[in-house]
Amino acid sequence: MKKLLLVTAAFAAAVAVFVVLTIQPRRLMLAATSDGTIPGVIHIHTNRSDGLSAPDDIAAAAARAGLKFIVFTDHGDATRRPDPPAYRSGVLCLDGVEISTTGGHYIALDMPPAPYPLGGEPRDVVEDVHRLGGFGVVAHPDSPKLELRWREWAAPFDAIEILNPDSSWRAWAQQSGWRPKLKLFEALVDYPFRPAETIAGLLHEALDLPMRMAALTQRRRLVSLAGADAHAKLALPNADPGDSRFALPLPGYESAFRVLSTHVRLERALSGNAADDGGVVLRAIRAGHLYIAIDGLATPPSLELTASNASGTAAGGDELAAGSPVTLRVRTNAPRPFTTSIWDGVKLVSGEHHEQEFSVTLADTPAVYWVGIRSTGRTPELTWARSNPIYVRGLAPVTRPFTRPPVRTNQPMFDGTSAAEWRVEQDSTSVAAVELAPVFGGPELRFRYGLSGQITPPPFAALVFDTPGGIAPNDRLAFTIRAERPMRMSVQLRAPREGGEAERWQRSVYISPTSEERIVYFDEVSPIGATQTLKSALNLVRSILFVVDPVNTRRESSGRIWIKRAALQR
């Protein structure tokens, strides 16, 4: 027993020495100064998906951390009706959803339930969220895990997470060598003693995001956010948090809430009416009236940025007309060693400011100004606080919009008299049928489907038009279509492959209850699974399929689709 006590004491002493040598410095406690914002945290998972705790328990943790609002973003397909705004433990709780796409994850806020499951390609999910009136946020865009990393930069998303702790620890885990692994081990040992500082010590800043954001903000507005990605579960590096039986119950919600925050500038003070206050907070987020801060370095933060010229005055997230010199005014409570800089995109225009209040007058030309405050003298040195941009815009340049060549030839696939060239395919558990349906204005193809509840393999039903001679030299498929209810389906090109499974490329389309023309351009299709070429070899395509499957249609559901006209064109 004595020997055991000695060993235990020696081990405890070794741990204490290790912690003293490796622990992150205690975060700086700053004088609280009101900048007209309220603190909150976005991107939180509850036990409704892969988080640890219920909303009430999470809100209580948020209250202890001093937050005024939080945003739940449980994983889903957006068909669940979001919970209405509610005050829990004095914290305004808002409900969104994190949608998985084939090119990363997308958060939808301020959106009614979708009439069909949202999923598939990111460009289509972004389009659906916009159609439904939602506000879309690219989650963990730089994640080392391919399934989580954003890969559709041409899509018109509304906002982007420029900081996400989940991406940061995965980046450490992915690095080769023993030093990154030691860093994670140090964090695991140090976490119980200074949890917020330890998590902040793992944060990293993506190298490519500033360039991407600068290019995007030259053309349009883009809101920058910090996402906590809080689960209160830590899984293995190659698993989503919560997916592993070996997940650890850390970092806890309260600890995560003390690491970073989003500070929103409201049009009025919160009233205590959850519905009204929810709208106020969401409008501010949509407008980019906010800044983000790493509280694990120093707290509470304060940052004000305004710009003025002859045309008026603007704050972060707002737009100002170019044409006269712009005066930027910055006020912050950053401690003396920290360094405040003003940027135009990725170009530094005024740096090395250590004073807490200053102004700078700049040129009268268009620019995208934002303020970043570096934690100079701290380890690690990070951007402690970052504003959203002020957009100084000139007259929009006259540009010729991209247009497709006009249609020169039209090869009908349905002439309104016969359905003989059309057939159906389905898995063994689902049903499908096609017939000529008499409709006012002329006969239409009617495709009926019923998906089963089978999980694996996924059920499907398809309307098929065979093209034994290929579809070249056509460059598009045009069709007029409607459905019983709003839905999305996949238009696929299929080419047989000798000695293997046929290759397919697809482009999904939205279908409304009103007949509308849709055009699928063949240079916009994407491969499904492994294909020998990125784009389809049109001369090898032997079938065109209109596919209904669980990507955008509920299992155990049925419906009807009508096609009035369909043609290959070039």
CB neighbour class for 209 (10 Å; exposed up to 12, middle 13-18, buried from 19) = middle
Q: In the structure encoding, which two tokens stand for residue 54, read together?
A: 């219920």
In a domain, 279, yes or no: yes
% of the chain residues with pLDDT over 90: 84
| φ, ψ at 3 (rounded to 5°) | -65, -40
* Continuous segment of H or E residues that includes residue 5: helix 2-22
In a domain, 389, yes or no: yes
- Indicate if 169 and 47 belong to the same structural domain: yes
Q: Of the candidates 299, 324, 341, which is a domain's last residue?
A: 299
Q: How confident is the model at residue 17 (pLDDT cuts 50, 70, 90)?
A: low
Q: How confident is the model at residue 233 (pLDDT cuts 50, 70, 90)?
A: confident
Biggest CA–CA distance in the chain, Å, is 96
- Indicate if 487 and 559 belong to the same structural domain: yes
What domain range is 449 assigned to?
410-569
Which is it for strands 290-293 and 261-265: parallel, antiparallel or unpaired?
Answer: antiparallel
Q: How confident is the model at residue 14 (pLDDT cuts 50, 70, 90)?
A: low
Compute the half-sphere exposure of residue 168: CA atoms within 13 Å on the CB side of its CA.
23
| CATH number for the domain harbouring residue 323 | 2.60.40.10
pLDDT attached to residue 239: 56
> pLDDT, tens digit, for every residue of 378-426?
888 999 999 999 999 998 765 677 889 999 999 999 988 899 999 999 9
In a domain, 13, yes or no: no
Q: Of the candidates 371, 395, 419, which is a domain's last residue?
A: 395
- Indicate if 238 and 289 belong to the same structural domain: yes
| Residue matched to tokens 């309260």 | 254
> How far apart (Å, rounded) are the C-alpha atoms in residues 215 and 161?
16
- pLDDT above 80 for 248: no
Q: In the structure encoding, which two tokens stand for residue 319, read together?
A: 């737009």
- Indicate if 453 and 307 belong to the same structural domain: no
In a domain, 380, yes or no: yes
> How far apart (Å, rounded) are the C-alpha atoms in residues 357 and 371?
12
> pLDDT, tens digit, for every residue of 294-310?
999 999 999 999 999 99
Mean pLDDT for 71-90 is 99
Contact 483, 546 (CB under 8 A): no
- pLDDT above 90 for 20: no
Predicted TM-score (pTM) of the model is: 0.95
Q: How confident is the model at residue 246 (pLDDT cuts 50, 70, 90)?
A: low
In a domain, 5, yes or no: no
Q: Which of 65, 482, 488, 499 is nearest to 251 (CA)?
A: 65
Q: In what order do the strands lie in the sheet with 500-511?
A: 422-426, 461-466, 543-548, 487-497, 500-511, 526-528
Mean pLDDT for 41-70 is 98
- pLDDT above 70 for 230: yes
Query: Of the given ranges (36-45, 397-406, 481-490), which has the lowest mean pLDDT?
Result: 397-406
- Indicate if 79 and 111 belong to the same structural domain: yes
pLDDT attached to residue 228: 98
pLDDT attached to residue 396: 75
| CATH number for the domain harbouring residue 128 | 3.20.20.140
- Indicate if 320 and 214 belong to the same structural domain: no
- pLDDT above 60 for 7: no
Angle at 222 between CA 219 and CA 228, to 5 degrees: 155
> pLDDT, tens digit, for every residue of 343-389?
999 999 999 999 999 999 999 999 999 999 999 998 889 999 999 99
- Indicate if 328 and 433 belong to the same structural domain: no
Q: How many CB atoms lie within 10 A of CB 527?
A: 15
Q: Which of 470, 467, 465 is nearest to 537 (CA)?
A: 470
- Indicate if 381 and 458 belong to the same structural domain: no
pLDDT attached to residue 373: 98
Q: Which of 316, 300, 385, 371 is nearest to 38 (CA)?
A: 300
Of residues 379 and 114, which shows the higher confidence score? 114
Per-residue exposure over 556-567, b if at least 16 CB sit within 10 Å of its own CB, e if not: ebbbebbbbbbb
Q: In the structure encoding, which two tokens stand for residue 523, read together?
A: 């240079």
pLDDT attached to residue 415: 82
- 543-549-551-557 Cα dihedral, nearest 10 degrees: 160
Contact 444, 422 (CB under 8 A): no
- pLDDT above 70 for 35: yes
Contact 190, 19 (CB under 8 A): yes
- Indicate if 207 and 325 belong to the same structural domain: no
- Indicate if 357 and 504 belong to the same structural domain: no
Mean pLDDT for 457-461 is 98
Q: In the structure encoding, which two tokens stand for residue 212, read together?
A: 């991407």
What residues form DSSP beta bridges with 450?
431, 558
Contact 98, 81 (CB under 8 A): no
Q: How confident is the model at residue 140 (pLDDT cuts 50, 70, 90)?
A: very high
In a domain, 465, yes or no: yes
- pLDDT above 70 for 10: no
Q: How many CB atoms lie within 10 A of CB 323?
A: 16
What residues form DSSP beta bridges with 13?
none
- Indicate if 307 and 292 belong to the same structural domain: no
473 prior amide bond cis, ω within 30: yes
| CATH number for the domain harbouring residue 535 | 2.60.120.430
- Indicate if 466 and 542 belong to the same structural domain: yes
How many residues belong to the chain? Answer: 570
- pLDDT above 90 for 279: yes
Question: Structurally, how many domains does the chain consist of?
Answer: 3
In a domain, 391, yes or no: yes
Query: What string of H, E and C letters represents the secondary structure of 457-478?
Result: CCCCEEEEEECCCCCCCCCEEE
First to last CA, the chain: 87
% of the chain residues with pLDDT over 70: 94
pLDDT attached to residue 258: 98
Contact 467, 97 (CB under 8 A): no
Residue 122, helix vs strand vs coil: helix
